[in-house]
Amino acid sequence: MNASGKYSWQSLPAAQQPSWPDPEALRAAVDELSAFPPLVFAGECDQLRDRLAAVARGEAFLLQGGDCAETFDGVSAAQIDNKLKTLLQMAAVLTYAASVPVVKVGRIAGQYSKPRSNPTETRDGLELPVYRGDSVNGLAFTPESRRPDPERLKRMYHASAATLNLVRAFTTGGYADLRQVHAWNQDFVANSPAGQRYEQLAREIDDALAFMKACGVNPDAFHSVEFFSSHEALVLDYETALTRVDSRTGDLYDVSGHMVWIGERTRQLDGAHVEFASKVRNPIGVKLGPTTTADEALALIDRIDPGREPGRLTFITRMGTGQIRDRLPELVEKVTASGARPVWICDPMHGNTFSASSGHKTRRFDDILDEVKGFFEVHHALGTHPGGIHVELTGDDVTECVGGGDEVLVDHLHQRYESACDPRLNRSQSLDLAFQVAEMYRDY
């Protein structure tokens, strides 16, 4: 902190911040948040950094996924349960079919804030502030709903706490026990092509478990699962209020989530977000879009990971299927030549969004798959490790992305389009992706 009691990042320009209409109300909310207990412990963040170090060394694979934007209405047992089942199923597929340990990180319990391309939106001649996520304002297009309200920052904290509580119960209370591998495959997904393929894999896992048990092997790792939370650290009033000094080491941690990332629109080297990321000890992600230069990537490493500590920094590339094979090689090559070993993962979602003829914002499953394929090809050619995937998904049977084995057509998009922001893979599309990524991983 400086003499005025501010952290270094608080005096730098911060992109994508809401214009809070009532500064007093903001201060009151931030004061309250600053006194709330941590959502995660520093030691858990360190543990995730260790796991990510294994990914950086090429010994594990990172699966990071969840909603584009969580919503307060979405904090229900059913929705959280479905999302977790989806991620657990995908992890089981990747672990078994690609024979690689999977580090599981949700875009969950904090993913409530959205960067936007324009500050306002106009409909029928009415111009209102754009929706910036439930942490800031409401999705409904009315002046009241779109007015940024700092009370929402407190709701975000409570929604995150409730979600994380259920996640912790699910993952340690027996539900994530590998013997439940069949139970995760219920509801609509069981009858989809990917669900049927999964059923076969679950039978094989059962046989393998029975065999190991008969041999006297039954480790704890089969009975609970390590699962971590993550979100984009976007609204700095919130993240700063949840930034605390670790009493063990004196280091700063953002205790709003285990891993936080910086988005494509807020990674300015002289901006507040990069400064914030450089000062907290959490594992940090940075999104890299197609305009990223190798010099920018190197400068980000110097700022955020000057000690070149494996697991500290994850580059999340989101180039688009048309650009991944052109844009990624130079970045990976120059970063590797510098001696840095960040985790490289592929976000095949954000470079592949387009408007369908129906007017819906959507993504093609085949584009998503092809970007991941390009990502594997580039890493294979350079001898580096394709460390994981970062996807927007839900456990529900939505129709937001087109394609997949249980094909969603453009004509279906209106049926269940529920995302508050970007289009997500539904459960069978997510499973489908996991099978195909497992094959790519095995083959490269």
Of residues 263, 320, 388, 423, which one binds ligand PEP by CB under 6 A? 263
DSSP 414: T
Of residues 132, 350, 364, 424, which one binds ligand PEP by CB under 6 A? 350
Helices (H) and strands (E) in the chain, counts: 12, 14
Would you list the DSSP string of 88-104? HHHHHHHHHHH---EEE
Residue 241 vs 425, nearer CB to Co ion: 425
271 binds ligand PEP (CB under 6 A): no
Number of residues that bind Co ion (CB under 5 A): 2
Residue 58 vs 115, nearer CB to ligand PEP: 115
| Contact region with Co ion (CB under 5 A), list: 65-73, 96-104, 250-258, 429-437 | 65-73
Of residues 46, 134, 149, 264, which one binds ligand PEP by CB under 6 A? 264
Distance of closest approach, residue 266 Cβ to ligand PEP, in angstroms: 8
Tokens coding 176: 């994530």
Q: How many CA atoms lie within 13 A of 443 on its CB side?
A: 9
Q: Are 97 and 222 in contact (CB under 8 A)?
A: no
Residue 195 vs 423, nearer CB to ligand PEP: 423
Distance of closest approach, residue 224 Cβ to ligand PEP, in angstroms: 28
Three-state DSSP string of 281-325? CCCEEEEECCCCCHHHHHHHHHHHCCCCCCCCEEEEECCCCCCHH
> CA 339 → CA 50, 301, 332, 342, 416, distances in Å?
19, 11, 11, 10, 47
Of residues 347, 422, 429, 431, which one binds Co ion by CB under 5 A? 422
Please give the Cα distance from 290 to 292 (Å, whole number): 6
What residues contact 352, with CB distance under 8 A and at least 6 apart?
Answer: 320, 321, 363, 364, 367, 368, 371
Of residues 287, 341, 385, 424, which one binds ligand PEP by CB under 6 A? 287
Would you list the DSSP string of 164-232? HHHHHHHHHSSTT-GGGTTTTS-GGGGGSHHHHHHHHHHHHHHHHHHHHHHTT---GGGT---EEEEEE
Residue list 138-197, contact with ligand PEP (CB under 6 A) = none
Distance of closest approach, residue 347 Cβ to Co ion, in angstroms: 9
Longest dimension (CA), the chain: 71
Residue 305 vs 371, nearer CB to Co ion: 371
Number of residues that bind ligand PEP (CB under 6 A): 10
DSSP 131: P
Of residues 68, 109, 259, 331, which one binds Co ion by CB under 5 A? 68
Residue 107 vs 154, nearer CB to Co ion: 107
Q: How many CA atoms lie within 13 A of 98 on its CB side?
A: 28
Q: Which amino acid appears at position 428 of this protein?
A: S
* Helix H or strand E encompassing 353: strand 353-355
300 binds Co ion (CB under 5 A): no
Q: By beta-carbon distance, which residue lies closest to ligand PEP?
A: 263
Tokens coding 374: 């390009």
What residues contact 72, with CB distance under 8 A and at least 6 apart?
Answer: 112, 134, 155, 159
Residue 63 vs 98, nearer CB to ligand PEP: 63
264 binds Co ion (CB under 5 A): no
Selection from Co ion, ligand PEP, none that 363 binds (CB < 5 to 8 A by kind) is none
| Contact region with ligand PEP (CB under 6 A), list: 30-38, 167-175, 211-219, 257-265 | 257-265
Residue 54 vs 233, nearer CB to ligand PEP: 233
Three-state DSSP string of 214-260? HCCCCCHHHCCCCEEEEEECCCHHHHHHCEEECCCCCCEEECCCCEE
| Contact region with ligand PEP (CB under 6 A), list: 180-188, 242-250, 259-267, 411-419 | 259-267
Distance of closest approach, residue 314 Cβ to ligand PEP, in angstroms: 13
Distance of closest approach, residue 234 Cβ to ligand PEP, in angstroms: 9
Residue 257 vs 405, nearer CB to ligand PEP: 257
DSSP 425: B
Of residues 83, 273, 318, 424, which one binds ligand PEP by CB under 6 A? 318
What residues contact 330, with CB distance under 8 A and at least 6 apart?
Answer: 294
Residue 131 vs 170, nearer CB to ligand PEP: 131
Residue 152 vs 390, nearer CB to ligand PEP: 390
Residue 51 vs 350, nearer CB to ligand PEP: 350
231 binds ligand PEP (CB under 6 A): no
Q: Which residues contribute to the site for ligand PEP (CB under 6 A)?
A: 68, 115, 232, 263-265, 287, 318, 350, 422
Query: Could you list the residues that contact Co ion (CB under 5 A)?
Result: 68, 422
